[in-house]
């Protein structure tokens, strides 16, 4: 490799490392303060850049938010792949592992929770992201419930999208309580107990 090519490669690597440093700083700031209350100047100061230097990497705060959310999604890709390998109620029970995963990444969970609430307001740049995300998650969980229904594991009359919404609501609600008081809330155990009780309520009537 020529010296010019080597220098270019090092430059790209340095630039990628710098971008990731900025993204992690923005993630923490958005998680702590929310998107609206965080300025580009604050993020620039966190990583030792001028505001103009930060804009060299990200042209706007909206673009920075998009990349932060993309980084958050990358953390879940491996889980989503594993989720897709299971069938029926075994796939639904894999949500317990997602709760356990979230308990190990508090900053990402805080970011998601803060932005999900903040983006309810009209005009928030993350609103389309969360609308699409909730739609995708509901469809994914409902699909696994549909597999379970087709396999005779739950009743034929169950409203699958509504059941999926209930499971997602339980996960999100536990996350909020856990973020406030992690010592008082064992997310994994609480969700696992809730899920088993809820699934028992969806089970077919025993044959007489």
DSSP string, 17-68: HHHHHHHHHHHHHHHHH-STT--HHHHHHHTT--HHHHHHH-SSHHHHHHHH
The pLDDT value given to residue 8: 55
Nearest alpha carbon to residue 111 among 57, 151, 68: 68
Among the candidates 70, 92, 111, a domain finishes at 70
Number of independent structural domains in the chain:
2
Q: 88 or 7, which is more confident?
A: 88
pLDDT digits (tens, 9 = 90+) for 119-129: 998 889 999 99
Q: Is the pLDDT of residue 190 over 90?
A: yes
Q: Is the pLDDT of residue 32 over 60?
A: yes
Q: Are residues 132 and 108 in the same domain?
A: yes
The pLDDT value given to residue 69: 85
Q: Are residues 113 and 144 in the same domain?
A: yes
Q: Are residues 114 and 127 in the same domain?
A: yes
Q: Are residues 11 and 31 in the same domain?
A: yes
CA distances (Å), 187 to each of 37, 102, 192, in order? 29, 9, 8
Burial (Cβ within 10 Å: 0-12, 13-18, ≥19) of residue 58: buried
Full domain range(s) for residue 66: 1-70
Q: Are residues 85 and 120 in the same domain?
A: yes
Query: The tokens of 202 are what?
Result: 């969806």
Q: Is the pLDDT of residue 161 over 60?
A: yes
Q: 152 or 101, which is more confident?
A: 152
Q: Are residues 65 and 135 in the same domain?
A: no
Among the candidates 38, 70, 102, a domain finishes at 70
Computed over every residue of the chain, the mean pLDDT equals 87
The pLDDT value given to residue 67: 87
Q: Are residues 36 and 137 in the same domain?
A: no
Q: Are residues 117 and 158 in the same domain?
A: yes
Is the distance from CB of 94 to CB of 86 less than 8 angstroms? yes
Q: Can you tell me the mean pLDDT for 184-195? A: 97
Residue 29 CA to residue 187 CA, distance in Å, equals 24
Among the candidates 29, 52, 70, a domain finishes at 70
Nearest alpha carbon to residue 92 among 173, 176, 177, 202: 202
Cβ contacts of residue 156 below 8 Å, gap of 6+? 149, 204
Q: Are residues 55 and 131 in the same domain?
A: no
Q: Can you tell me the mean pLDDT for 102-115? A: 87
Is the distance from CB of 64 to CB of 39 less than 8 angstroms? no
Q: Are residues 92 and 160 in the same domain?
A: yes
Residue 64 neighbours by CB distance under 10 Å = 26
The pLDDT value given to residue 79: 62
Q: Are residues 84 and 42 in the same domain?
A: no
pLDDT digits (tens, 9 = 90+) for 45-100: 999 999 999 999 999 998 998 888 887 777 667 666 665 566 788 889 989 988 99
């Amino acid at each position: 490799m020529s010296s010019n090519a080597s220098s270019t490669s090092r430059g790209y690597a340095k630039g990628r490392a710098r971008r990731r440093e900025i993204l992690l700083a923005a993630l923490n700031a958005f998680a702590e303060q929310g998107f609206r209350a965080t300025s580009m100047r604050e993020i620039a100061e966190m990583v030792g850049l001028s505001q103009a230097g930060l804009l060299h990497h990200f042209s706007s705060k909206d673009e920075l938010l998009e990349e932060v959310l993309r980084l958050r999604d990358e953390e879940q890709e491996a889980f989503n792949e594993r989720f897709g390998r299971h069938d029926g109620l075994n796939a639904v029970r894999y949500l317990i592992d997602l709760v356990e995963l979230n308990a190990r990444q508090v900053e990402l969970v805080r970011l998601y929770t803060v932005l999900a609430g903040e983006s309810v307001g009209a005009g928030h740049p993350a609103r389309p992201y969360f609308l699409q995300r909730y739609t995708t998650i509901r469809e994914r969980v409902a699909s696994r419930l549909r597999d379970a229904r087709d396999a005779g594991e739950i009743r034929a009359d169950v409203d699958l999208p509504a059941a999926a919404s209930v499971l997602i609501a339980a996960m999100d609600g536990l996350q909020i309580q856990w973020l406030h008081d992690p010592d008082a809330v064992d997310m994994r155990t609480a969700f696992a107990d809730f899920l088993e009780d809820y699934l028992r309520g969806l089970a077919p009537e025993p044959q007489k």
